[in-house]
Amino acid sequence: MQHKARIAMTAVSLLGLSMAAQAQDGERHITLASTTSTENSGLFDAIIPQFTETTGIDVRVVAVGTGQAFEIARRGDADSLLVHDTVGEERFVEEGYGTERADVMYNDFVIIGPDGDPAGIADAETVAEALSLIAEAEAPFASRGDDSGTNRAELRLWDSAGVEPGGEWYRELGSGMGPTLNTAAGMDAYVMSDRATWVAFDNPRDLELLFEGDDALFNQYGSILISAERHPHLKHDLAEQWHAWLLSEEGQQAIADFEVKGQQLFFPNAKQ
C-alpha cells in the first residue's frame, strides 16, 4: 500500500512538472505587457485572433497597471509593450529600454459621478472647471492612486486646474480601473475613467457619465518595441510583426471595428 501510494504521488507530480514545461515552449507566441483598460474592455479578445490568423503568432497579454507594465518590460519579461502614458513611454525609449514608439490609437477619459451630480459638473465648460467644482464642493472623489497611466493623467489634470487634491473627500484607492469604479459606485463618488473601461463596466449602480469632450481628456495609446541590445533573449522579430500589424491598415481597421454596446471605444490614429 505504502509503496503504491508513493509511486502514484511521484507520478502525479511528474505529470504536473511536465505540464508546466509543456506550457512554456508551445507554439509561436509573444508576451505583451499592457494595461487593464485595453484588456477589460475586451479589445484584445477582438483584435488578437485577427492578428493570429494573419501571422500565426499568438499574443499573450499580461494586463497590469501602466507602472507595472513598464517595470515588466524594463526587466525583460515581456516582448512588447502597449500602454497609454506618452510621457512615460518617451522616457522609456530615451533610457534605452525601447527602440521605437508609435501612436496606435486613442480614446478619451470621462468624468463619472453620482446621478444627482452634487458638485454640478455636468454644465462645466472645461475639465479643469469640472475638477475645481468637485474640489470646492468637497464631493467624494475616487482616485486610482496606483501610478497607472490613468492616475498620472488625472494628477496632471488636477495640476492644470490649480487644485492640490487631498483631504477627506479625495480617496486614493491604489486599485485598478475596475475596482476603482466598483468602489466609486459603492460610495457615490466622482471618478475619472477611460471611456473603454466605463462603457464595458457592468456595475454602474447610480453612477453616470457627467463630463466628456474636453481635448485635455485625450488618452493616447502607444506601442513600443523593446531594445534587442538590452534584452537579446526576447522574441524581437515576432514582436516587430505585432507592432507593424497594429500600425497597418488591417490592424487599424480591426481597432476601429471593435465596439461594445454599439459604441466604438478606440480610435486608430497611427501615422500611415
Residues in touch with other proteins (CB under 8 A): 2, 9-10, 12-13, 15-17, 19-21, 23-24, 31, 36, 39-40, 44-45, 60-64, 75-77, 176-179, 181-182, 185, 200-204, 231, 233
Type and span of the H or E element at 190 = strand 190-194
Residue number with CB closer to other proteins (40 or 80):
40
In whole angstroms, how close is the CB of 163 to other proteins at the nearest point?
A: 28
Type and span of the H or E element at 35 = strand 29-35
In whole angstroms, how close is the CB of 139 to other proteins at the nearest point?
A: 22
In whole angstroms, how close is the CB of 61 to other proteins at the nearest point?
A: 6
In whole angstroms, how close is the CB of 69 to other proteins at the nearest point?
A: 11
Residue number with CB closer to other proteins (133 or 207):
207
DSSP 168: T
CA 135 – CA 116 distance, rounded (Å): 17
> Counting Cβ atoms within 10 Å, is residue 120 exposed (0-12), middle (13-18) or buried (19+)?
middle
In whole angstroms, how close is the CB of 81 to other proteins at the nearest point?
A: 14
Residue number with CB closer to other proteins (128 or 265):
265
- The C-alpha cell 454640478 sits at 120
- How far from 105 is each of 139, 172, 229, CA to CA, in Å? 33, 28, 27
Residue number with CB closer to other proteins (40 or 143):
40
DSSP annotation string for 200-246: H-S--TTEEEEE---GGGEEEEEEEEEPTTT-TTS-HHHHHHHHHHH
Type and span of the H or E element at 256 = helix 249-257
In whole angstroms, how close is the CB of 231 to other proteins at the nearest point?
A: 7
Residue number with CB closer to other proteins (168 or 202):
202
Residue number with CB closer to other proteins (99 or 182):
182
